[in-house]
Amino acid sequence: MGTVWAVLLVFIGCCSNVVFLETLVREFPGCGNIVTFAQFAFIAIEGFIFETHFGRKKPAIPISNYVIMVAMFFTVSVVNNYALNFNIAMPLHMIFRSGSLIANMILGIIILKKRYSASKYLSIMMVSAGILICTIMSAKQVNVTHEGSGDDSFYAFMRWLLGIAMLTFALLMSARMGIFQETLYKQYGKHSKEALFYNHCLPLPGFLLLSTDIYNHAVYFSQSTPVDIPGLGLAVPVMWIYLLMNVITQYVCIRGVFILTTECASLTVTLVVTLRKFISLIISILYFQNPFTTWHWVGTAVVFLGTLLYTEVWTTIQTALRIPDKQSKKTQ
């Protein structure tokens, strides 16, 4: 029952979070910083109360290690959200982040000296090809969308290239953080909820560097169309409602993933998260009518087929189907 509940949290939280995030970004394309800050603050407050018991519980992993992890986590979160300001469409943003398998494998080979099976390398090639197809198609759409003077088209394309570079950097940094977490958990044991709290609490002072942008967008949000709250007699700017829903759904999403990691094997977690990404992509395309060509669909299919191949889901299904056959033969 716990597994079913966790899966529901992941799908409901993460998929609805994408809707509220894109709603915010479409109204104010540069609002990534205030969204990130609100998410960090909410999760940090919740963790301070329920995980550290108002600071009375000491961390199992030394704070110095969390500082390193937090620097990576903060950088990845801010860069990923800020990339949306550089002509990066939400579908491409989600597809590109699906390339975490590539980054993890590359850094695993370089840093941990790991070796993988042929199917793993094939899956990485498929994911790389899918992302490349979608990237090229999005690059063409940028040029088409910004037709006009040559200077305007060139400027839009250069902004798009900068956005791609930001996503690539965030992808590699996220993979490096994953490897760092893996080594920490091997040494100190798994403390996912503790890590979740410190990853969101320690970076909060860093948002002072972004305080001007956060304040400006807070003003913009306050000037948005007011909406009456039933039963309270209050009128709240609609952008603040969208932000609140984004923060809550982000917490539900992360909380669901945490429960899932304690209930299921890593293969199941990877498969659920992969399927969640695919459904989020479909919702983004259909609900917001994002431009998505046939080649985008081909690239998307290749990315997710490669991801499923990487998780060896086919082998797991075949093994599960063989077990009943063997058991029935024994009973005979």
Low-confidence ranges of the chain (pLDDT < 50): 144-149
pLDDT at 268: 64
Q: What is the pLDDT of residue 313?
A: 66
* pLDDT, position 326: 53
In sequence order, the 6+-apart residues with CB closer than 8 A to the CB of 103 are 171, 172, 174, 175
Neighbours of 33 (CB within 10 A): 21
Q: How far apart are CA 53 and CA 55, in angstroms?
A: 6
Task: Identify the pLDDT of residue 262.
Answer: 66
Nearest to 36 by CA among 106, 4, 84, 69: 84
Per residue in 271-317, pLDDT (tens digit) is 677 778 777 777 777 777 767 788 888 888 888 888 778 767 667 66
Contact present, 182 and 88 (Cβ < 8 Å): no
**What confidence score (pLDDT) does residue 317 get?**
64
Residue found under tokens 């500082």: 67
Q: How far is residue 56 CA from its own chain's centroid?
A: 31
Place of tokens 């200077």: 151
Collect all residues with Cβ–Cβ distance below 8 Å to 221 and sequence separation of at least 6. Answer: 28, 31, 34, 237, 239, 240, 243
Looking at the structure of the chain, the number of domains it has is: 1
> CA-based Rg of the chain, rounded to a whole angstrom?
21
* CB-CB contact of 179 with 109 (8 Å): no
Secondary structure percentages of the chain, helix, strand, coil, to 5: 80, 0, 15
Distance CA 129, CA 284 (A): 22
Q: Structure tokens of 144?
A: 């088409």
Beta strand residue intervals within the chain, DSSP E: 226-229, 234-237
- pLDDT score for 53: 92
Angle made by CA atoms 42, 48, 54, in degrees to the nearest 5: 145
Domain that holds residue 299: 2-331
Q: What pTM does this model have?
A: 0.70
